Amino acid sequence: MAIGLCLTPEQTELQQTARDFAISEIQPLAQKLDESNDPNLVPWELCKGVFCKGASLGFTSLLLPQELGGQARKCIDFALVQEELGAVDVSIASSYFSLSNVMPLLIGRAGSSEQRDRLLSYVSSSEAFVFSAAESEPNVASSDLFCPTPDAQIGMKTVAVRDGDTYVLNGQKSALVTNAGIADAYFIIARTALDKPMQESMSIFYVGADTPGLTFGKRIEMIGWKASHHAAIHLNNVRVPAQNLIGQEGQAGALLMLLPEVAIGLAASYVGLARAAYEYALNYAKQRVSWGRPLIAHQAVALKLADMMVNTQAARLMVWDAACAADTSPQLAATVKAPAAKTFAVDVAIKNAQTAVEILGGYGVTKEYRAGKFLSDAWIGYSCDFTRDILRLGLVNFM
């Protein structure tokens, strides 16, 4: 297999456009949200305008095929954009831009032609359109999804019962669901048979935000990701047309395997965070003087910076490798390369953020400087879209 790691002129231009957009549009917004202490703030209300600008630059439709209104770009192009957005704010990159690129792919890849026409018609409009995907539940360990033992008692309890040409959904999704309460449409995973193991009974439903019976909890505050919106979803006799079932009953697990781009988008955003933490610490180490010399002239600090740079590059290469696999061997990408890249990129982001806190000394733990933000945002990646350990236990099955 030929290996080429040089970006094409088009990719370099895309990367630069994303970098300029992130710095000019996302940075001031993210800073405002980071500094806000208003518990009633709805970040999406502030983010929407910037999201629309990003959409007009094409940053929400990179992957969708051209016949469905997208740009049919390579997954590595998506990774390049996500890294730039993530370097400025990983929550905006992941919650809004990554999900908007990836979730329509589910309809494109698994939907019927009627579903593609009906559910993707928004792509050609200039309206902001945001998705949410809900699997986790408050009283169920999300790790149950990876349980190797088929047992109908284990796993999610949200249920979908067929009633004529509709399904009726009842249950609750956890307060961690990204974009719950602000999304335009939801992919709800529910069980179409509670007497069968989860692996055989999970199904995916497309649910419009205005569907009666669908309500949301209050936005949950996290230690970081200040620009994002997470809330619980309550499903009380939510009736959806049977033609909103994506794929077949019981196919949810297989369909999610069609989307390695979910983990790749997160991983690339976290490479961005790792890079930002490294560059921030490097800049500080060049300015701050100790014993008459810049910090970087002290080997104890210089070695830390070298490790930050080396690990960031290693994480980036894993993401690019997973992105190449997503285009050529999607099964390998979904089972091994994308989860491996996600866990590694988040590990590096956490390590770099922690090292940045160390290099900044006392200022590292003040809100005046960004090292603390990097660390809080980095830790959120640990369990977002499955924990490090669960992803690694999952990929062992394919080694």
Ligand X SMILES: Cc1cc2nc3c(=O)[nH]c(=O)nc-3n(C[C@H](O)[C@H](O)[C@H](O)COP(=O)(O)OP(=O)(O)OC[C@H]3O[C@@H](n4cnc5c(N)ncnc54)[C@H](O)[C@@H]3O)c2cc1C
Output the smallest distance, CB 81 to ligand X, in A.
20
Taking CB under 6 A as the criterion, the residue among 23, 141, 223, 242 binding ligand X is: 141
Residue count at the site for ligand X (CB under 6 A)? Answer: 20
d(CA 16, CA 80): 9
Applying CB under 6 A, the span of 46-54, 68-76, 81-89, 129-137 interacting with ligand X comes to: 129-137
Among 7, 309, 383, 394, binds ligand X (CB under 6 A): 383
Which of 148/164 has CB closer to ligand X? 148
C-beta closer to ligand X: residue 136 or 201? 136
The window from 37-45, 74-82, 101-109, 376-384 that contacts ligand X (CB under 6 A) reads 376-384
Smallest gap from Cβ 325 to ligand X, in A, equals 23
Closest separation in Å from C-beta 301 to ligand X: 32
Shorter beta-carbon distance to ligand X: residue 215 or 366? 215
Residue with smaller CB distance to ligand X, 143 or 313:
143
Query: Residue 271's Cα: distance from chain center in Å?
Result: 13
278-317 residues near ligand X, rule: CB under 6 A = none
- Tell me how far, at minimum, the Cβ of 97 lies from ligand X, in Å: 14
Give least dist CB 80 to ligand X, A.
23
Which residue in 58, 34, 63, 59 sits closest to 46, CA to CA?
34
Q: Which is nearer to ligand X, 71 or 383 (CB)?
A: 383
Among 239, 387, 394, 395, binds ligand X (CB under 6 A): 387
Residues contacting 5, CB < 8 A, separation 6+: 317, 320
In this chain, which of 60, 61, 101, 136 binds ligand X, going by CB under 6 A? 136
CA distance 20 to 50: 13
Residues 150-179, mask of contacts with ligand X (x by CB under 6 A): --------------------------xxx-
CB of 144 to ligand X, least distance (A): 7
* Nearest approach, Cβ of residue 189 and ligand X (Å): 8
Residue from 389, 392, 397, 398 that binds ligand X (CB under 6 A)? Answer: 389
Nearer to ligand X, 33 or 296 (CB): 33
Segment 215 to 254, residues that bind ligand X, using CB under 6 A = 225
- State yes or no: residue 129 binds ligand X (CB under 6 A): no
**Which residues of the shown chain bind ligand X in the complex (CB under 6 A)?**
133-136, 141-143, 176-178, 225, 380, 383-387, 389-390, 393
